A = this chain, B = another copy of it.
Amino acid sequence: MDTTPDLLTLRIVRTISEHGTISEAARILGYSQPALSQHLTRAQTRLGLALVVRAGRGVRLTEAGRALASHAVTVLNAVDAASAELAELAGLSSGTVRIAAFPTASSTLVPRLIRQLRQQHPNLTVNYVEAEPPQALQLLRDGAADVAITFSYPEDRADPHLSRDGGHTTVPLFTEPVVLVLPDSHALATADDVGLADLANDAWIAGCTLCRGHLLALCNLEGFAPEIGLETDNALAVLNFVSRGLGVALLPQLALSSLTLPEGVSIHSPQPSSERTIQYVIQPGATRIPSVAATIAMLTALDGASWGLRDYPESERTAR
């Protein structure tokens, strides 16, 4: 005989002890009278003892019923506390979201995202970590981040997003062009569109690991291997190197949007043109986590145009 009461039984017994009748308890708890009557008989059968006995035209709690009623207060208070905490989390009156994003986003997308989140959900705690896409994905896998904001080059065959597709959900947000940066001294500095093949003999300045991979892949398609003279993660440094005539470079549009262009460099559209995709990545099913849902809602609502980003085509914006 299982003497473990269920929550409804506790609620019923408590309400009966407070209001005296089953019918009134049913009204208060929002059930029909037979529902409670039957639940009680079932519960009593399960428990193997009586909780109520008829008394006149009402009922009276037995000793066991009174015992349950007194415990019910404790149990239901605790349950209500749990419920309230869940409601808070669901309503974002509390909760935490941990965001990881690549460095360039730190000065563009992320500040705006966090400001909007703070404004709309003042009680939501937001943590932010800067990390290149592979590291951001690792943070996600380790449970150290809830949302990773990353980018992909469509040509990248080693894209970490593809390698373990089942382990996370990737949703594209924007595409941005990759632009060519030439020093004014360069022979093609006055052209609008510049063929990459025409730069086969130039010195190249490479960005972060991923961007460098992209550069290599792109040049490979054009039939040459670029000579890479300098490497740096820092977009501003790249620009300065170019302005001193130390080489040419490809940079994503977003990297430029938060910088003022130094003297002596010019922006061009490379031929063939190229672009990268900015996306967010979450744990599968994490849309059910309110803080995450709020964050990605905010993200998709962000207007990328101010940074030269284009919304990813809606028709193709599907989770992977």
Contacts and interface: CB of A to CB of B under 8 A. Distances in A.
A116 to B, nearest CB: 21
Given A5-B79, A71-B81, A89 B49 contact: yes
Contact of A289 (B50, B80, B87, B167): B50
Contact of A5 (B62, B71, B86): B86
A63 B141 contact: no
A221 interface: no
A192 interface: no
Interface stretch (A174-182, A223-231, A268-276, A280-288): A280-288
Contacts of A259: none
B288 A50 contact: yes
Contacts of A84: 3
B3 A289 contact: no
A122 interface: no
A67 interface: yes
B78 A285 contact: no
A290 B49 contact: yes
A78 B48 CA distance: 20
Contact of A6 (B7, B286, B289): B7
Contacts of A283: 53-55
Identical copies of this chain, number: 2
A62 to B, nearest CB: 5
Contacts of A7: 4, 6-7
B286 A90 contact: no
A82 B10 contact: yes
28 contacts: A3-B83, A3-B84, A3-B86, A4-B7, A4-B80, A7-B7, A48-B288, A49-B90, A50-B286, A50-B289, A54-B284, A54-B285, A56-B141, A60-B143, A62-B289, A63-B95, A63-B289, A63-B291, A64-B90, A67-B82, A67-B89, A68-B82, A68-B86, A71-B78, A71-B82, A75-B75, A75-B78, A78-B78
Contacts of A75: 75, 78-79, 82
Contact of A86 (B49, B87, B90, B96): B49
A187 interface: no
